[in-house]
């Protein structure tokens, strides 16, 4: 289907004088979607290129990290679409088990209810109702950003097809002995009452208390230190290093555990670090993962001393106390018995918190389902090592290997009601049956299904192939798997990327889920500081879209995006991106008003100026292609920004004006070249700034859409080094004259009489009229008297008659004031950079900015000194 309203026969008259993003973006986006420009064809004979979107939570909204991630993906997919690939960018959402259940439970709590009042089936139905009414707001926000996803293939991790995939792979892993049930230490949230994956635990340095406790008496006493005194009630041993001479005589003996009357052994274990603390550690196998491993090696009992809500269950004076109430009570009791040897407070140490409710996580011994990751992780590592999967930037591969080569078994069960329920049934005689998607579960009295659901990351780990129809052999799976590139933040390289690698290789017979993993960093503020509500520096990308437009927001984010590096952004830079779009708009509008065209071939005979801009264009095409291949989006934006603003708008448009005004064949050639340059430039910019480029390209060409226009290809024959060198000389001459005029306080519009010498030697004599036009210089007449001389280079000299154009006294005073300000700035920057304490602690970006300020101040001082010297005598 074609939107014929955009095929303009007289586009010039329809381009408004100003660009208004709000009037363009929604209209353009809906046109793209309705015309099917983003819809992929699984039966196409074009080469495939696939990206599956990292599925945002159904509870989420577009934050600045999403905006960066989606901008990068959209830029990649739009370029590939223009290059003739059959592109699929597949959208969807994650059901976000804990987050979504918490949302609905809060709604129930507001009405004085809990999920248990409804029962499991009714509660799950309520969550689906919430999803239909309130979930997925981020999908509409993705449209505002301009995501060119194939909405016809939108998926949700709880869809019927994806649920089938989850049940299929669980059954396969179970039958292959890679899923098992066991009592292990897991991360437990006493508020959400569920196990947590590592990704759901946020660590922070918290103030705590380190207490040293004496176990035993006399020569047989041993001192241990702990930040969680309440867990001592569950100690079943004290461990020391086998080579620690201080404790060798105690290994194999027993010591009384204070407050309990129990006697516990002292064991030797190589896990203990003899240089940390006293070199002796308490062992609580049911409440610490390292202690659990020690307990397994020494066959120690595991005593659970707290219930699922973190309340002490050991009979005695502390029973019924919350863990944080029990801690000081136990310390006080030990102090009363003279058992506290030392106390250190505050003691800063890393503490895990539930990412959803911020409750302190409790390591807990629990019966859970696990994935044996050893063979899966090895395959995931091999796929990168043998080159099937490339990680960009390559240096992050080391981090990937560090994780997959040392991966622990993965706890996949969650004590929730919202999610994929574990497909295992338990019989009355202890039978356990795992049921596949095409199998009937066992029936009869006493059979019950496992109450737990699977970790959300289990289903999202299937995303690259479950979204394409697996386990069915669909045309989409055949066409678009393996996917081409995964774009995501480096912070989930282990938690999500590694899981997709493991499951993709396992389920798809060794075929990797993606060919390239392109990792970007986190978005930070302009000072390199992490964004946080507590810092007050969080950016809402929707606010920027409202105020500056989606294109400006996208360009500001992409302009800071280098592989694996954090991205600094500010409102000021987004305003600058908006100004860039306006500059592009005005240049294209000028071109249209002056007859620029894309019709016909380029003329065989072109001026040096026309050959120069075409040469610059094809240099930039090659540079942009190289940067896209390397995922260096900041360099893409930088190259296009400077080409558009500097080469096209500031130079070529100005150089073209007198030519077009003069008319004739040269003017016609310039109009065609200007049209050619803008056509290619808009296409190059389209992946980053899709809306403004669509609007301008349609006005320039009258075509159907830039979305499917062919991507520019660099033509080596159009690269003209001689023309570029000649224009570089011209630009230097004009720039130096303009700078001199500015320094002397000559108004930009005021014309000055001047004599130019050395143009022949410099090889730019043919451009004298252009130089005079751009620099506002009149030819010397009989009344000419040089009052200032400017040596542009060894070859070119400019003599100017500035009589009557400068108030020398006022200008000298202005320059002296500017020199004082520049000297002050120089001194301040030198002082900061000379302060080793500041340089050592300040973020790298802040230090770099001060160095830039120093360089600018020194350049200003040199420029002002030259201007003062050039002033005529007053």
Q: What is the mean pLDDT of residues 126-136?
A: 93
pLDDT single digits (tens) 24-79: 999 999 999 999 999 999 999 999 999 999 999 999 888 898 999 999 999 999 99
544-548, 550-554, 794-798: lowest mean pLDDT where?
A: 794-798
173 has a pLDDT exceeding 80: yes
Q: Which residues lie below 8 Å from residue 160, measured CB to CB, with a gap of 6+?
A: none
pLDDT single digits (tens) 308-342: 999 999 999 999 999 999 999 999 999 999 999 99
Residue 689 is given by DSSP the state S
Residue 492: its pLDDT value, please? Answer: 77
Beta-bridged to residue 354, according to DSSP, are 201
**Mean pLDDT for the chain overall:** 92
657 has a pLDDT exceeding 50: yes
Contact 417, 123 (CB under 8 A): yes
pLDDT single digits (tens) 719-749: 999 999 999 999 999 999 998 888 877 888 8
681 has a pLDDT exceeding 90: yes
Residue 865: its pLDDT value, please? Answer: 87
Percent of the chain at pLDDT > 70 equals 97
Alpha-carbon distance of 754 to 665, in angstroms, equals: 30
Residue 279 is given by DSSP the state S
Alpha helix positions (H), 89-238: 97-110, 115-118, 120-133, 137-145, 160-175
- Please, which pLDDT band fits residue 11 given cuts at 50, 70 and 90? very low
Q: Length of the chain in residues, anyone?
A: 874
The CA angle 207-208-209, to the nearest 5 degrees, is: 140
Alpha helix positions (H), 744-797: 759-762, 768-775
Residue 806: its pLDDT value, please? Answer: 67
10 has a pLDDT exceeding 50: no
Residue 874: its pLDDT value, please? Answer: 61
Residue 7: its pLDDT value, please? Answer: 35
pLDDT single digits (tens) 582-618: 999 999 999 999 999 999 999 999 999 999 999 999 9
Is 479 annotated in some ligand binding site? no
Q: Which domains, ranges and CATH numbers included, belong to the chain?
A: 194-362 (3.90.740.10), 568-719 (1.10.730.10), 745-870 (1.10.287.380)
Alpha-carbon distance of 505 to 380, in angstroms, equals: 7
CB contact burial 503-536 (16+ within 10 A = b; e otherwise): bbbbbbeeebbbebbbbbbebbbbebeebeeeee
12 has a pLDDT exceeding 50: no
526 has a pLDDT exceeding 80: no
Tell me the residue ranges of DSSP E strands in 132-261. Answer: 155-156, 179-189, 194-196, 201-215, 222-226, 237-240, 254-256
Residue 788: its pLDDT value, please? Answer: 78
List, as one string, the DSSP characters of 448-510. Answer: EE-S-EE-HHHHHTTHHHHTTTTTS--HHHHHH-SEEEEEEEGGGIIIIIHHHHHHHHHHTTT
Q: Which DSSP helix (H) or strand (E) runs through 584?
A: helix 571-593
- Please, which pLDDT band fits residue 220 given cuts at 50, 70 and 90? confident
pLDDT single digits (tens) 374-388: 999 999 999 999 999
Alpha-carbon distance of 52 to 147, in angstroms, equals: 12
Q: What is the mean pLDDT of residues 610-637?
A: 97
pLDDT, greater one: 4 or 562: 562
Beta-bridged to residue 367, according to DSSP, are 183
Residue 743: its pLDDT value, please? Answer: 81
Return phi, psi of residue 112, to 5°.
Answer: 75, 25
* Residue in this structure with the two tokens 């990751």, named with its chain if needed: 373
Alpha-carbon distance of 358 to 200, in angstroms, equals: 10
84 has a pLDDT exceeding 70: yes
Residue 423 is given by DSSP the state -
Distances (CA, A) of 734 to 275, 498, 770: 70, 56, 9
Residue 70: its pLDDT value, please? Answer: 96
Strand, helix or coil at 716? Answer: helix
């Amino acid at each position: 289907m074609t939107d014929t309203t955009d095929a303009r026969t007289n586009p010039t008259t329809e381009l408004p004088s100003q660009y208004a993003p709000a009037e363009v973006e929604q209209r353009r986006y809906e046109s793209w979607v309705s015309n099917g420009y983003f819809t992929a064809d699984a039966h196409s004979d074009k080469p495939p290129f696939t990206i599956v979107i990292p599925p945002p939570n159904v509870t989420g909204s577009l934050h600045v990290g999403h905006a960066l991630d989606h901008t990068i993906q959209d830029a990649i997919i739009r370029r590939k679409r223009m290059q003739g690939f059959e592109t699929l960018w597949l959208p969807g959402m994650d059901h976000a088990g804990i987050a979504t259940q918490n949302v609905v439970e809060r709604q129930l709590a507001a009405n004085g209810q809990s999920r248990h009042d409804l029962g499991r089936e009714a509660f799950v139905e309520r969550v689906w109702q919430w999803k239909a009414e309130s979930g997925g707001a981020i999908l509409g926000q993705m449209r505002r950003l301009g995501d060119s996803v194939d909405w016809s293939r939108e998926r949700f991790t709880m869809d019927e097809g994806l649920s089938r995939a989850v049940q299929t792979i669980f059954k396969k892993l179970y039958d292959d002995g890679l899923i098992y049930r066991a009592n292990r230490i897991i991360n437990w949230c006493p508020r959400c009452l569920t196990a947590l994956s590592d990704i759901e635990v946020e660590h922070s340095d918290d103030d705590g208390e380190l207490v040293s406790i004496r176990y035993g008496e006399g020569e047989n006493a041993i001192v241990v230190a702990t930040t969680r005194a309440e867990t001592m009630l569950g100690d079943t041993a004290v461990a020391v290093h086998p080579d620690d001479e201080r404790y060798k005589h105690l290994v194999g003996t027993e010591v009384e555990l204070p407050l309990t009357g129990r006697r516990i052994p002292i064991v030797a274990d190589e896990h203990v670090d003899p240089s940390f603390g006293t070199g002796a550690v308490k062992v609580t196998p049911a409440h610490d993962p390292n202690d659990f491993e020690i307990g397994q090696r020494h066959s120690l009992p595991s005593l659970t001393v707290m219930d699922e809500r973190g309340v002490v269950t050991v009979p005695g004076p502390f029973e019924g106390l919350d863990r944080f109430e029990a801690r000081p009570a136990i310390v006080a009791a030990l102090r009363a018995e003279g058992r506290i040897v030392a106390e250190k407070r505050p003691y800063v140490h890393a503490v895990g918190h539930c990412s959803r409710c911020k409750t302190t996580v409790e390591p807990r011994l629990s019966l859970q389902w696990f994935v044996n990751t050893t063979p899966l992780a090895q395959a995931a590592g091999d796929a990168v090592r043998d080159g099937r999967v490339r990680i960009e930037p390559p240096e992050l591969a080391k981090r990937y290997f560090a994780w997959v080569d040392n991966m622990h078994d993965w706890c996949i069960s969650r004590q929730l009601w919202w999610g994929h329920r574990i497909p295992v049934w338990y019989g009355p005689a202890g039978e356990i049956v795992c049921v596949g998607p095409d199998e009937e579960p066992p029936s009869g009295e006493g059979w019950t299904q496992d109450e737990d659901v699977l970790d959300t990351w289990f289903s999202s780990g299937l995303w690259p192939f479950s979204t394409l129809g697996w386990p069915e052999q669909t045309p989409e799976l055949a066409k678009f798997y393996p996917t081409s590139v995964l774009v995501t933040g480096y912070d989930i390289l282990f938690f999500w990327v590694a899981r997709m690698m493991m499951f993709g290789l396992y389920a798809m017979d060794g075929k990797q889920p993606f060919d390239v993993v392109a990792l970007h960093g986190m978005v930070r503020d302009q000072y390199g500081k992490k964004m946080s509500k507590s810092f007050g520096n969080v950016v809402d990308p929707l606010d920027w879209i409202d105020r500056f437009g989606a294109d400006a927001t996208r360009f500001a984010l992409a302009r800071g995006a280098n592989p694996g590096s954090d991205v600094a952004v500010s409102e000021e830079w987004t305003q600058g991106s908006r100004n860039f779009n306006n500059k592009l708009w005005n240049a294209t509008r000028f071109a249209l008003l002056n007859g620029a065209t894309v019709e016909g071939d380029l003329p065989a005979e072109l001026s040096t100026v026309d050959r120069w801009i075409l040469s610059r264009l094809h240099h930039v095409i090659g540079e942009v292609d190289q940067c896209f291949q390397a995922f260096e989006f900041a360099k893409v934006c930088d190259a296009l920004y400077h080409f558009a603003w500097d080469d096209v708008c500031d130079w070529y448009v100005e150089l073209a004006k007198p030519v077009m005004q003069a008319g004739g064949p040269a003017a016609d050639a310039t109009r065609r070249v200007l049209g050619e340059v803008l056509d290619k430039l808009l296409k190059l910019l389209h992946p980053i700034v899709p809306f403004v480029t669509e609007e301008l390209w349609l006005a320039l060409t009258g075509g159907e859409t830039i979305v499917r226009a062919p991507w520019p290809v660099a033509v080596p024959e159009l690269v003209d080094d001689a023309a570029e060198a000649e224009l570089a000389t011209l630009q230097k001459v004009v720039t130096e004259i303009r700078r001199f005029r500015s320094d002397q306080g000559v108004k930009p519009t005021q014309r000055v009489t001047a004599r130019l010498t050395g143009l022949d030697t410099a090889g730019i004599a043919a451009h004298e009229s252009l130089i005079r036009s751009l620099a506002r210089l009149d030819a010397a007449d009989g009344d000419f008297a040089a009052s200032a001389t400017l040596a542009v280079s060894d070859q070119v000299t400019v003599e100017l008659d500035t009589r009557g154009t400068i108030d020398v006294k006022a200008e000298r005073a202005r320059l002296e004031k500017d020199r004082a300000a520049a000297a002050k700035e120089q001194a301040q920057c030198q002082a900061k950079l000379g302060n080793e304490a500041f340089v050592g602690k300040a973020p790298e970006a802040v230090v770099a900015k001060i160095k830039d300020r120093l360089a600018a101040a020194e350049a200003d001082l040199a420029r002002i000194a030259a201007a003062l010297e050039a002033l005529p005598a007053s």
